[in-house]
Structure 1
Amino acid sequence: MTTARVISVSSDGSHRFSKPTRESITLVAGLGVEGDAHFGATVQHLSRVRRDPTQPNLRQVHLIHRELFDEVTADLAPGQLGENVTTDGLDLLGLPRGTRLHLGDEAVIELTGLRNPCVQIDRFEPGLLKQVVGTDADGATVRKAGVMAVVVTGGVVRPGDPIEVRLPAEPFSALAPV
C-alpha cells in the first residue's frame, strides 16, 4: 500500500498562473498559505472578487495529485498548474467534501470542492483544458485539475510530509466546483 505524502509545496504573492516551489509553506488557520496571493478569509480569486468580494474563501489551499502529470501529454512539474501542495499516493478527486487532511506534524485542511479550471490553463499549455476537464460515460463533467481546501489548523508543510486522511461523517457529499 502506498503511503500518501506531500511531494512539493508552492506559493506566490502575485496572481500568476504558476507558483514557484518552496522548501516549505506555512498554513494559517482560516486564511490559507502565508504570503500567497489567495491568502485571506474572503475570496481572493480575482474574477470572484469582482463578482462579490465578501464571499468566504473556500479556495485557501489548492492541491493536485502528482498522478495527474502522468495522465496528460504536457510535461508538467509541481507548481506549474498553480497548486500549493502536490500530493502522491492519494486519490484527491475521490474524497468527499469535508474530508480533513493532516499534512505533516501540525497542519490540517478541509476539502471544500473541486478546482474549476478556466481558459488560462490553455494559455499555459494549448489543449490542456480538454485533458483536465472532460465527460464520463454518462455525460457528466469530470474535473481533474485538483481540489480546494480551507485551513483548519495551521502549521508548516514540507515535501516528504505524510498525509493522513480523516473522512467526514456519512452520508458523504461528492466534491463539486468551488
Structure 2
Amino acid sequence: MKVAKVVAINISEEKGQPKQAIDKGYFAVNCGLRGDAHAGEWHRQVSLLGNESIDKIKKLGFDNLATGSFAENITTEGLILYELPVGTKLKVGETIMEVTQIGKECHMGCAIREKTGDCVMPREGIFAKVITPGWIKPGDVLERLN
C-alpha cells in the first residue's frame, strides 16, 4: 500500500486567495496554521486537498496550478480525503487532527474559481480541527488513526 504523505504546506494572509507554499507550518490547538487567514476558533481551522483532486482540474487543461491554488493549507497525496467520514482522526506530521467537514459552499467571486474556471475544494476538500499541536512539513506521513 502506498504511504500517504504531505506534499505542501500553504498559507495566505487573506481569505479566498490562493496560498503560497512554505517550508513548514506550526498547527496550534483552537487555531490551525499560525499566520493563516483561516486560522481561528472554528471547525474549519485547517483545509486539506489531495493532489488526486488537483489532477482532475489539471486534466481539464489548467496545467498552471501549484499547491495552494485552491487555498488549501495542506496538499496531500495517497489518501482520498473526501471519502473520509467526519470524525476521522489523522496523524499529520507531529499533529493529530479531526475531520470536521467534507466540502463547503463556494462563494461567488472567488479568486480561485476566476483563475481556474472550477474550484474542486467545495466538492473534494476537507476541513479539520487541531487536537494535538505541532509542526508539519512536506514529506511528513499522513496516517488515518480510526
Note whether the superposition's TM-score is higher than 0.5: yes
Aligned AA for 1:62? S
Give 1:160's aligned residue: 139
SS of aligned partner of 1:143: helix
**1:21-71 CA distances to partner (integer Å, 9 max, x unpaired)?**
000010001111101111211xxxxxxxxxxxxxxx111000000011221
1:23-172 equivalence runs, <5 A: 23-41=23-41, 57-72=42-57, 73=60, 74-75=62-63, 76-104=65-93, 106-116=94-104, 117-119=106-108, 120=110, 121-126=112-117, 128-129=118-119, 132=120, 143-144=123-124, 146-167=125-146
Q: Distance in 1 between matches of 2:74 and 2:138?
A: 9
Q: Distance in 2 between matches of 1:69 and 1:81?
A: 8
SS of aligned partner of 1:112: strand
Q: Distance in 2 between matches of 1:156 and 1:110?
A: 16
Unaligned runs of 5+ in 2: none
Structure whose alpha-carbon radius of gyration is higher: 1
SS of aligned partner of 2:53: helix
Aligned AA for 1:65? G
Shift of 1:93: 0.6
Shift of 1:16: 4.3
Give the TM-score normalised by structure 1: 0.73
Following TM superposition, where does structure 1 have runs of at least 4 consecutive aligned residues deviating by more than 6 angstroms?
Answer: none
Unaligned runs of 5+ in 1: 42-56, 134-141, 168-178
Q: Distance in 1 between matches of 2:113 and 2:39?
A: 25
Give the TM-score normalised by structure 2: 0.88
Q: Distance in 1 between matches of 2:37 and 2:55?
A: 28
Give 1:138's aligned residue: none
Indicate the percent of aligned positions where both proteins have the same amino acid.
Answer: 35
SS of aligned partner of 1:93: helix
